[in-house]
Structure 1
Amino acid sequence: MRRIACFRPRRALWDDGPVTSRPPAADRAGAIWVVAVGVYMLAVFHRSSLAVAGLAATERFDISASQLATFTMLQLLVYALMQIPVGLLVDRFGSRAVLASGAVLLTGAQAGFAFADTYPLALLARLFVGLGDAMTFICVLRLVSTWFAPRRIPVMIQVTGLIGQLGAITAAVPMTWALSNLGWTKSYLVAASLGIVMTAALLLVVHDAPDARNLRGPAMRPAAIRRSLADSWSHPGTRLGFWMHFSTQFSATVLGLLWGFPFLVKGEGLSEHAAGLLLTVMVVAMMAAGPLIGWRITLLPWHRSTLVLSILVAIVAVWTVVLAWPGEAPLPVLVVLVVVTGIGGPASVIGFDLGRTSNPPHRLASATGIINQAGFFASLILVIAIGLILDWRTPGASTDYSPDAFRWAMSFQYLLWAIGLVQIVRYRIKARARLRVDDPDEWAAQSGLI
């Protein structure tokens, strides 16, 4: 059986793209990446577009906090449940076909959300937003692994996440302006129309590999699929990546997707404009931290889990300061909150690097799907919990949530952080032990013993 390093790949594992007769041209690879990451950016925009529309949605559909949370809950549930099937689809049908299907679904779903005038119709539209969103990121990661030099992959993955977060920026201040000046239907129709342009560009530019527009993998029987997933999940490096993603992503995701805007406006007393700006600052922090994190883990792969643990402790600390502050926290403290919480986004991407170096190429997409669902399941749990706690702490059917209600609701994060912290430490030990058994020389080199 082939032995695979858990933390720092040997040279063979860096060469995880398909073998071709000549290296991809840099300009061609760049054009494909730009279009693919543009589709991912659009998916992040659609995913985040409800964040600043939460208060407007409660009025349009006459719903409670729990019902508002159901929008994001359903979207996240579909996204998380689709990660493994999408990984298998990418292995079977290639990135180009799956990414194009996702772009078409997103466009139709956002147009449906624009015209929805009842709660059930709006829920149906958000379900398909989650489905289309789920079909983007894994495809882009596979294209990065195919088209770029192996040692550039960790940084390119972080840059991909960085550029993708521009979609969250355009879902903050610009969407706030659009909803105020254009109204609900026109705002979401304009957003949907962008998908037509990106789908056309994708079909014209993107190729699965240097020597093929479309790649098709072999059909897998159910028994082979189960065996492949079991092999990926059984590796402690995959599980460590899973819990890294689980622990560091959910706080920023929930703030950006739904509860950040109401928390800052009603929980901390900011104006809508200031709340939108702070959410934009959070995304900028994600974008700034991503390349630095990618560069650091390339130099020091042994300390990937140490970096994640440090960022996780910082996130917990700054939330503790905000939630324990008597009354409304000062604006500078809230700026620190969104910056540190935002860094959790690129920190979660480190989990994909663990999956990449712990699995052979033919399991890459499915292992990525396993890891990618972790943070979104955590986000789903938190979205539901916040909505339920807000309704519990708010009298009657009112949506006039108090700062105290938000303090109770946001404190639910401590339970998820505690679970994640324990599991990261646990599988960090197991993954390093696995490396020591599989490759003692590599373990000694990485741990600094030689």
Structure 2
Amino acid sequence: MPPHQSGGSSARTARAVTLAVVIAAYMLSFFHRFAPAGIAHDLTLAFQTTAASLGALAATYFYVYTIMQVPTGVLVDTLGPRRILFLGGLVAAAGSVLFGLADTLNEALVGRTLVGLGVSVTFIAMLKIIAVNFDERRFATLVGASMLVGNLGSVLAGAPLSLLAQSISWRGIFVGAGALSALLGVACWFFVKDGGGERPRFDRTVIFGGLASVLKNRSTWPAVVVNFGLAGSFFSFAGLWATPYLMRVHELTRAQASSHLSLYFAGFALGCFFIGTLSDRLGKRKPVVIAGAFLYCLLWLFWLTNIRLPLAATYCLFGLMGLTTASFALTWACAKEVNPPMLSGMSTSVTNMGGFLAGALLQPLAGWAMDQVWDGTLANGVRVYGPDTFRVGMACMAAAACIGFVASFWVKETGCRNIWQAPRPGP
């Protein structure tokens, strides 16, 4: 009997507690993911970085996160989420403390790498827990609701982080975040239940065979590319470049720019919930993804023009951008529903890898492109980038978004259910 159909109130309570603890860890991972945007100015001053170096510092998280997606999918499908969430929390704690205490850019890079390594397991573990513990017809809704709550961490990485960093310093914040990571890791050990569902044995033949079947499945790849384009441009823009862009091009104060970022994240959180719920209620995936990706790409045109808009207009655009960005949240369901149910961890991790690979590439690429057209202006020894320079960086991210939109037309419609069929044996 599937786990979501078994047990009484105690079983339901256990599943709820398991999901709540993982969502709390997911909140912290979102905070770490987008924190560089809120303190970009502080990091530039602390380490005297160029745009390319700042992009590399922020992207280090995404490099290791990308590399870990497939191994994480394998681990949650074999060992279960509990053990890797515990270890991940401890590694992220060490990295956050090191990042907060770093005296040099290299030390900060190591700390950021450890943070990325530690939190890289959280999301796939959460998807696995939802997949094996709850009704698959509610998968997108539950993922959206979890992301709605989890995204509070990204909201905190906007205006609240920027304001707090000016009063108690960004270093103290990351030391505190490290302590919280350790506590959540321990909580996962005691409260997370791996749940039911069939798991493959930890056998290399079984594991590589399962991974190969996901990778060979042509229906997997459109979701991966959509995630690459939409999530990647989101991670690059909101994760680093949005705040300095708004301050320099639109001449907003740091508080105004960071509040735009918080509104973006709030819109994204709401979008994840409502888009997932809409998709489940319509019984369709593909048209929702296409419509959201199209609107998201249209909004990039405003940032490419560098037109100065009223403050109310930029707030509205950032909120709308957050809502439409959330369309990529359906890609995990799209990939899961065209692959074997027992390989849900692997299929979602392969899809998730697309967005983080793009984030890892786009953050330093945008910075490198801006350095190529920088006019040499300095202020207190720090490079100053003008509107035309930022346009080049924005173009890199907009191009990725367009790639995701085009790929959305190849996503396979599943009707919000698993449509995978085992290959028929030969004659």
| TM-score, length basis structure 2 | 0.90
Deviation at 1:61?
1.0
Cα separation, 2, equivalents of 1:131 and 1:390? 28
Cα separation, 2, equivalents of 1:110 and 1:410? 29
Q: State the partner residue of 1:349.
A: 329
User: Cα gap change, 1:54/1:127 in structure 2, threshold over 3 Å: closer, same or farther?
Assistant: same
Q: How does 1:129-148 map to 2 (within 5 A)?
A: 129-148=115-134
Deviation at 1:401?
0.9
**Matched AA of 2:299:** V
Q: Is there any run of 5+ residues in structure 2 with no aligned partner, and where?
A: 423-427
Q: Is there any run of 5+ residues in structure 1 with no aligned partner, and where?
A: 1-14, 440-450
Is the Cα contact below 8 Å between 2:233 and 2:397 reproduced in 1? Answer: yes
Alignment of 1:103 onto 2:89: yes
**Matched AA of 2:388:** D
* Partner deviation per Cα, 1:375-434 (whole Å, 9 max, x = no partner): 1112222212210122122133742111121112101233323333333324549x89xx
Cα separation, 2, equivalents of 1:184 and 1:162? 25
User: Cα gap change, 1:424/1:189 in structure 2, threshold over 3 Å: closer, same or farther?
Assistant: same
Corresponding residue SS for 2:124: helix
Deviation at 1:257?
1.4
RMSD over equivalenced CA pairs, Å:
2.6
Corresponding residue SS for 2:78: helix
Q: State the partner residue of 1:281.
A: 263
* Partner deviation per Cα, 1:268-298 (whole Å, 9 max, x = no partner): 2111001111111111111222222112211
Is the Cα contact below 8 Å between 2:226 and 2:403 reproduced in 1? Answer: no
Alignment of 1:200 onto 2:200: no
* Partner deviation per Cα, 1:110-160 (whole Å, 9 max, x = no partner): 000011101111111111111112110000111112222332222111111
* Partner deviation per Cα, 1:311-348 (whole Å, 9 max, x = no partner): 1111121221332254x232233223322321244311
User: Cα gap change, 1:407/1:186 in structure 2, threshold over 3 Å: closer, same or farther?
Assistant: same
* Partner deviation per Cα, 1:15-67 (whole Å, 9 max, x = no partner): 9x559863673222222111110011111112222221111111111111100
Alignment of 1:320 onto 2:304: no
Cα separation, 2, equivalents of 1:393 and 1:103? 41
1:417 corresponds to which of 401, 409, 423 = 401
* Partner deviation per Cα, 1:241-288 (whole Å, 9 max, x = no partner): 212212322232223211111111112211100111111111111122
Is the Cα contact below 8 Å between 1:76 and 1:380 reproduced in 2? Answer: yes
Corresponding residue SS for 2:405: helix
Q: State the partner residue of 1:22.
A: 7
Cα separation, 1, equivalents of 2:420 and 2:140? 25
Is the Cα contact below 8 Å between 1:246 and 1:378 reproduced in 2? Answer: yes
Deviation at 1:437?
11
Deviates more, 1:37-46 or 1:21-30: 21-30
Corresponding residue SS for 1:413: helix
Alignment of 1:389 onto 2:369: yes
Deviation at 1:367?
0.7
Cα separation, 2, equivalents of 1:377 and 1:294? 23
Alignment of 1:362 onto 2:339: no
Q: How does 1:219-298 map to 2 (within 5 A)?
A: 219-221=202-204, 223-298=205-280
Is the Cα contact below 8 Å between 2:27 and 2:153 reproduced in 1? Answer: yes
Corresponding residue SS for 2:219: helix
**Matched pairs, number:** 415
Cα separation, 2, equivalents of 1:400 and 1:46? 26
**Matched AA of 1:108:** A
User: Cα gap change, 1:397/1:113 in structure 2, threshold over 3 Å: closer, same or farther?
Assistant: farther
Is the Cα contact below 8 Å between 2:237 and 2:397 reproduced in 1? Answer: no
Alignment of 1:35 onto 2:21: yes
